[in-house]
Homo-oligomer: A and B are copies of this chain.
């Protein structure tokens, strides 16, 4: 049996109120302070946060709902989110949706029953109904990385469309005319980047035939199979835009296997810089996200909501990106 506040009370002869006050940083006579601290050490006392949370109705815990904990992107974002929360005195309760909407919906209820003070969501679903239990429970919610199509929540993300649009200039300005795309149509980010791609092409007066538009999910398989299809085309593209890290990985994998060279055979433009891409020859042009800023802003916004400091309508924050230059694009 772990020690409770009552054990401390008996050991010190003080009242529960005094001990509670000490635990919560209130003023206590120096001599009593010493007594309490001695008792705590001796009994290995550790506050029972369940009991505390039950009465205060606060857990100092933020729920983090991630689409997949396996993704390196998730790991990086969790690191920054966690650090920002820790600095503010909050812990995080991470739940993994395993890229599955069913699990995601269940996880929302789980977080509610754990009485988290707020929720940061990197969603799987593109519609927002799965969040309504949390909304009903009046738990502040901030979306991170991905927005939702129907309901409006606070959201911190990059400007996917504009980032893609701008990055596409690298290919277009070097006279590429036949440019293909491999993008997710399931994830919000993939769809937005696809749109940015199409806009850039349209504004450049370039056609994108149907077989240059490969849609799938943000997975290695999509990149791998997509690039395979493109390479098999009689009229191959000279450049390819890939909408995220896993797709880029898969696409390069299949180019390597097929013996296609970049940029000699095909020029590449990717998304999500990861350090190991520097290993590759050639280095791929990549759109790089400001990971720390994403985490910081999400936490800042959420805490603002939790404290009632921010009280306006839902806010959408779209951060800018940076293009990591490489030598994967040939000038035609």
Contacts and interface: CB of A to CB of B under 8 A. Distances in A.
A278 B124 CA distance: 28
Contacts of A78: 69-70, 96
A71 to B, nearest CB: 7
Contact of A280 (B110, B136, B220, B280): B280
Interface stretch (A112-120, A140-148, A177-185, A308-316): A112-120
Contact of A44 (B86, B96, B103, B136): B136
Contacts of A109: 46
A113 B46 contact: yes
Given A44-B137, A112-B46, A279-B252, A96 B69 contact: no
Interface string A260-284: 0000000000000001101111000
A78 B72 CA distance: 12
B49 A115 contact: yes
A320 interface: no
A74 B71 CA distance: 10
A83 to B, nearest CB: 7
A41 to B, nearest CB: 11
Contacts of A96: 78-79, 82
B44 A113 contact: no
A112 to B, nearest CB: 5
Nearest to A251: B279
Nearest to A278: B253
29 contacts: A2-B137, A44-B137, A46-B109, A46-B113, A49-B113, A49-B114, A49-B115, A50-B51, A50-B53, A50-B59, A54-B54, A69-B78, A70-B75, A70-B79, A72-B72, A72-B75, A79-B98, A82-B96, A82-B98, A83-B98, A86-B103, A91-B114, A92-B94, A249-B275, A249-B279, A252-B279, A253-B278, A256-B279, A256-B281
Question: Closest 10 interchain pairs by CB?
Answer: A70-B79, A75-B75, A49-B113, A50-B53, A50-B54, A94-B94, A46-B112, A50-B50, A44-B136, A72-B72
Given A50-B50, A50-B51, A91-B110, 8 more contacts: A46-B113, A46-B133, A47-B113, A49-B115, A51-B54, A72-B72, A86-B103, A93-B93
